Structure formats: C-alpha cells, structure tokens
Amino acid sequence: MKVSKFGGSSVASAEQIKKVLNIVNSDSERRIIIVSAPGKRYSDDVKTTDLLIRLYEKVINQLDYTHKKQEILNRFKDIIDELPLETDILTEIDRTLESHIATLKDQPERLLDALKSSGENFNAQIIAAYNNEQGIPTIYLSPQEAGIIVTDDPGNAQILESSYDKIKEIRNTNKKIIIPGFFGYSESGHIVTFPRGGSDITGAIVARGVKADLYENFTDVSGIFRANPTVIKHPEVIPEITYREMRELSYAGFGVFHDEALQPLYRYRIPVVIKNTNRPNDLGTYIVHDRQINHDKVVSGISCDKGFTSINIKKYLMNRQVGFTVKILKILEKHQISFDHMPSGIDNISIIMRSSQLAGKEQKVLEEIRHYCEIDELNVEHDLAILMIVGEGMSATVGTANKITDALAQAGINLKMMNQGSSEISMMFGISTQDADAAVKACYENCYNR
C-alpha cells in the first residue's frame, strides 16, 4: 500500500486536480491520499493558505473581511465550476469559515490555526467528492477521523505516539481515502497545525501509521537536484539517497521535502519517493534507509546556505582546561541558542549558528562569555555561508575532500572553516556569503562534469 501526498501546486486548479486523480486512480496501491491547499497556479499567484492568513488578519484587526473571504470562496468556486462538481460544497465552505470566525475570534491562535487549515480541509473535501462522482468509491476523512491526534501547541503540533494505532485502522477500507494535510486535532478537539512543511508531515505520519510500503511525495519537480537549480542550470536529479543524506541536504537549504517529515519514517524504514505530478513517469528521487554506494558519484548533493554567524574565541592553553567548552555552551543553552558546528583548535574554538539564533541576544551572549570564561580574544563573524558536501561513503573514499578543496582553490575561494567528523556523510566548509554561488558552481563542475 502506498500513501501519496500531493503538494500545493499539484492541487492548485481543476486541471491539476484531474491530473492528480488520474495518477491516484491508475494504481490500486494508491489508497490513501494527502492533499495540500490550492497553491500557486502561476508564479505571481497567491497561495490559498496565504489568503486565509490575510483573512485572519482582517478579522483580528476588526476590519471588514467580506472581500477577502470572497476571494477565498472564488478560488474554490473556480475549482468546483471547472471540474465540474455537482454538490453544493461552496455554501458549506462559507458556513465553516464564518463559524470559525464567530466562535474563535477571541482566541487568535486558535482562529489562525482553524483558518490556516481550511485550505487543505476544503480541498480534500472537493477532491474526494469529485472522485466519488466520477464513479471511484472515495471518502474524505478529517484528521480527527483518521486518528491524527496531536499536542495542543498552536502552529507547532507534534503527533502523539498513541495516534499511530488509530491511524492503522484506516488501512481497512476498499475506498480511496482523501485526508487534508497540515493539521491534526488536539485531544480537546481543537484544530492544531503542524510547523512548516506541514502536509509532508501529515503524509509521513499516515505512512508510518498504516505501515505503507512507499510514501509518495508528489510535487512540481522531478526529484531532488544535486544542487540548487537557480545556481546550476539543469542539475542532475539524484536517483536515490538515504534519510541521513536527505536530512543534511534539507537542513542546508534543499526545500523540496521537509526534513522533519522524515522522523516518523526513520524507525520503520518506510521509503519515500519524490515525484512530479506533471511528469509522473519520471523516476523521481527515492529516499531510503540504506543504499548501495555509487563510487563514481560519492557526492550526492551540494548545498550552500547563507545567513550564518560564527563566534570565535581564543584562549591560551584552552585544551588543558577541562570544562572550558562546557562553560561556553552553558551560556548558549541558557539563551536557548542551538549551534550547528563547532570547529576548534587547541587554543581556539568557533561556534557556528544560524544568525537568526543570535538575533537580539548577541550582545548579551558575548558579554556573558567575556565575563564568565576568562578568554583572551572574542570576535564574531557575520555573513558566513555554509557549503555542505553530502554523500554516504564519502568519508571512506580517498580524495573526496581534495575534489572539493581543489574546486574551491581554483575558483579563488578562501576556506574560513572546515569540519568533518568521523563516519560522517557530510563535509562542511565555512565561506563568505559573497562566494556562495561560485562555490556551488565550482564544486558541481568538479564532482559531476569531469
């Protein structure tokens, strides 16, 4: 059995929804379908979810929201008319929006979650109704009916471990099941949305719950590219990567599939495939637990993410002082700052984190380090980019590091930092933000075009 999730652009219009249902109906294994809210139909279009957030803002600021609501209703009316769908679902949509507003207007966080989730919820109902009308037995299941019970943390739901047993039961139906992505219900019955990448997370939770053989994640690209396509023209698609590789790449800015969605799949080793709704015959990228290493291409992908800061500390005889690093990290912990890398020498240490982690806290943190740690020198480097070279088996292959440093040296790019731990599947290089694109180009050339 497959769980198939379709992203926003895959379900943005009647035409796209028909494509999706062709895909779904062409394979009897595709039994459980997770759908997003209607996304962009063209590049300047506005996502339904964003319209819903604007509606929320109008309501909360006690402004007239009729026009905004109508805009949303029109998005769904276009879909309903073009399919065409016979049922009078639009009245129901309108009533639901008004009901959320009426009952939750004094609880902004609840209202936001309820409105934000409506895009997925209405779309799932439309898609299920239409497929049913086409003669394919299909039912809509709300996340509550599907058993997706989550923590009561608005905008940041986490699945409850106990949900999986309930979700498992939805295996037992012969109909196609359509479930809206992006949200669950708390035990007290409230709608609570997942953090970013929400529909991916719903898909992963359901795939784990029903112990799917495959979790298909349909989007608008034919898989995961080896490098950012806005930097590299027509980069190769990666045929197969591991969860760990995926996590390193998505952490470092590969946005196709949200890394948090991998967590439910990890333990039961459920494979994921990233496929293109518009080119369903393309092979896509498989994300698996283990894979064979291709020794000609040990580097699976190259990413470069900007917006990092490094706190650099020098202290003479630092390595002799047991507990020095703990002192510094305790200060970061106190300020709830998580760091990403910590390359060090014997008398110095660099702590690298996303600049956003330090926002508004930098002065305080630096002061405390100066005050408590008896350091010799302290400086902060902003505008750092982190180049990540990711690949299983890379660390066991002689010359991989050289391939990269060679490419960077030839491109005249200075390496500020390097970091690679034992048995790692990634190497990290700290470079200037201004060198980021050139670095990706140079590495890509050296890894794949020679």
Of 271 and 280, which has the nearer Cβ to a second copy?
A: 271
Provide the minimum distance between the beta carbon of 52 and a second copy in the complex, in angstroms, as a whole number: 28
Instruction: Name the helix (H) or strand (E) containing 334.
Output: helix 324-334
Of 63 and 409, which has the nearer Cβ to a second copy?
A: 409
220 labelled binding-site residue: yes
Provide the minimum distance between the beta carbon of 402 and a second copy in the complex, in angstroms, as a whole number: 4
Of 88 and 296, which has the nearer Cβ to a second copy?
A: 296
Task: Please name the residue that has the structure tokens 């997770």.
Answer: 34
Q: Cα-flanking dihedrals φ and ψ of residue 250, to 5°? A: -75, -30
- The residues, any chain, with a CB within 8 Å of residue 320's CB and separated by 6 or more, are none
5 labelled binding-site residue: yes
Residues 41, 44, 49, 50: what is their CA dihedral angle, to the nearest 10 degrees?
Answer: -170
Q: Cα-flanking dihedrals φ and ψ of residue 231, to 5°? A: -105, -45
235: which DSSP letter?
P
Provide the minimum distance between the beta carbon of 252 and a second copy in the complex, in angstroms, as a whole number: 8
User: What's the rounded Cα separation, in Å, for the pair 38 and 61?
Assistant: 26
Of 359 and 396, which has the nearer Cβ to a second copy?
A: 396
Of 280 and 393, which has the nearer Cβ to a second copy?
A: 393
Number of Cβ within a 10 Å radius of residue 405 = 17
User: What's the rounded Cα separation, in Å, for the pair 93 and 102?
Assistant: 14
Instruction: Name the helix (H) or strand (E) containing 14.
Output: helix 14-25
Spatial contact of 226 and 241, defined as CB atoms under 8 Å apart: no
Q: Which residues bind a second copy (CB under 8 A)?
A: 244, 247-248, 251, 263, 266, 310, 312, 314, 316-317, 319-323, 325-326, 329-330, 332-333, 336-350, 379, 381, 395-399, 401-402, 405-406, 408-409, 412-428, 430
87 labelled binding-site residue: no
SS3 (DSSP) at 5: strand
User: What's the rounded Cα separation, in Å, for the pair 300 and 294?
Assistant: 9
Provide the minimum distance between the beta carbon of 381 and a second copy in the complex, in angstroms, as a whole number: 6
User: What's the rounded Cα separation, in Å, for the pair 314 and 380?
Assistant: 12
Provide the minimum distance between the beta carbon of 361 and a second copy in the complex, in angstroms, as a whole number: 13
Of 67 and 268, which has the nearer Cβ to a second copy?
A: 268
277 labelled binding-site residue: no
Provide the minimum distance between the beta carbon of 335 and a second copy in the complex, in angstroms, as a whole number: 9
**Binding site feature residues:** 5-8, 49, 120, 219-220
**Binding site feature residues for ATP:** 5-8, 219-220
